[in-house]
């Protein structure tokens, strides 16, 4: 693996290796302090970020390196330089390039032209770092999660797509409950289904939140209005998604040991009630903390190859 652009690019064995490596970094965050010594990792973020940016910066520091933030105003892209020229130039300075942007096409162009690893830090279509974190968190709570089921309830976001792909790679079933008006990306789900078929697991689609949640070991949701969604759609999205709010009654349909997951940021009273996200079954802050060892594992995997 030269880059990490989508979760589906990983093999089951590669995914398992990343889970094991993440576990080692979670136990000992400074276990490899020289990997990036005297090396620079670029962070090209065109969209706001809290967890992804800070966890990646922390991961680089703990691997002995330094980060440089490259906002759109810091580069010549706005003055007409091509993505390809920018990627080739940055490859001469950086050990790796971490990109958060809306366009999956732009990300792919960066990766095709760069001669260093490129990591997807969130696009409109995919969020692979989040999905690795999600399944690592599940593995911490259920040491052998194979055969269990995740229920994703809400809008069919990039998080839902990457989560489905990661679940399939981990031999975990997933049920996606989304409204007809806001489904997950069809190509992304087909990729998850192909992986699931090879692993003997299931990707289930439904419009009924209760059907998805019943018997699940984890219940997951995401915001109703994501970055890039037109603000004028807010009222329509809220109307369509209100039946998909995760509250105590819905969570109560899951297994007694089930946990609540959310990629954050969260909007209490919209996709989830305060009672659930701040309640005893919520592990969202443990989940957020796991972003750092995941980032360390991905960087180590790519730069040690």
Please, are residues 164 and 176 in contact by the beta-carbon 8 Å criterion? yes
130 included as an active-site residue = yes
Question: What pLDDT digit, counting tens, does each position of 235-246 carry?
Answer: 999 999 999 999
126 included as an active-site residue = no
- In three-state secondary structure terms, 255 is coil
Catalytic residue from among 126, 291, 300, 301: 291
Domain boundaries, the chain: 7-126+291-303, 129-288
Catalytic residue from among 51, 127, 148, 149: 127
291 included as an active-site residue = yes
Catalytic residue from among 32, 53, 126, 130: 130
User: Residue 33: its pLDDT value, please?
Assistant: 95
| Nearest C-alpha neighbor of 28 from the set 298, 292, 304, 305 | 292
122 included as an active-site residue = no
222 included as an active-site residue = yes
Report pTM: 0.96
Residues 129-288, CATH architecture: 3-Layer(aba) Sandwich (3.40)
User: Residue 230: its pLDDT value, please?
Assistant: 79
2 included as an active-site residue = no
Question: What pLDDT digit, counting tens, does each position of 27-53 carry?
Answer: 999 999 999 999 999 999 999 999 999
Burial class of 240 by CB neighbour count within 10 A (0 to 12, 13 to 18, 19+): middle
Query: What value does the mean pLDDT take over residues 115-134?
Result: 98
Query: CA 246 to CA 122: how far, in whole Å?
Result: 24
Question: What pLDDT digit, counting tens, does each position of 180-234 carry?
Answer: 999 999 999 999 999 999 999 999 999 999 999 999 999 999 999 887 777 888 8
Catalytic residue from among 124, 134, 263, 292: 263
Tell me which fold the domain 7-126+291-303 belongs to. Rossmann fold (3.40.50)
Catalytic residue from among 53, 62, 100, 237: 100
């Amino acid at each position: 693996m030269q880059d990490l652009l989508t979760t589906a690019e990983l093999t089951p064995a590669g995914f398992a290796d990343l889970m094991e490596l993440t576990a080692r970094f979670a136990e000992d965050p400074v276990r490899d302090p020289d990997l990036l010594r005297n090396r620079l990792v670029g962070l090209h973020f065109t969209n706001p970020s809290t967890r992804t940016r800070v966890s990646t910066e922390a991961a680089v520091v703990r691997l002995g390196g330094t980060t440089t933030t490259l906002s759109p105003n810091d580069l010549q892209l706005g003055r007409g330089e091509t993505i390809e020229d920018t990627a080739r130039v940055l490859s001469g300075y950086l050990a790796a390039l971490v990109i958060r942007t809306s366009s999956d096409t732009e990300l792919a162009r960066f990766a095709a032209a760069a001669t260093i690893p490129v990591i997807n830090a969130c696009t409109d279509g995919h969020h692979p770092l989040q999905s690795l974190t999600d399944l690592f968190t599940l593995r911490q709570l259920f040491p052998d999660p194979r055969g269990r089921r995740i229920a994703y309830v809400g809008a069919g976001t990039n998080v839902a797509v990457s989560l489905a792909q990661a679940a399939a790679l981990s031999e975990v079933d997933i049920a996606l409950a989304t409204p007809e008006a806001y489904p997950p990306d069809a190509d992304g789900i087909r990729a998850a289904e192909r992986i699931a078929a090879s692993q003997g697991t299931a990707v289930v689609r439904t419009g009924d939140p209760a059907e998805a949640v019943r018997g699940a070991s984890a219940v997951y949701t995401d915001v109703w209005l994501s970055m890039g969604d037109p603000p004028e759609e807010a009222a329509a999205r809220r109307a369509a998604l209100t039946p998909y709010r995760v509250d105590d009654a819905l969570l109560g349909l899951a297994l007694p040991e089930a946990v609540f997951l959310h990629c954050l940021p969260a909007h209490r009273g919209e996709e989830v009630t305060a009672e659930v996200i701040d309640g005893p079954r919520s592990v969202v802050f443990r989940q957020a903390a796991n972003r750092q060892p995941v980032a360390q594992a991905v960087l180590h995997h790519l730069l040690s190859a």
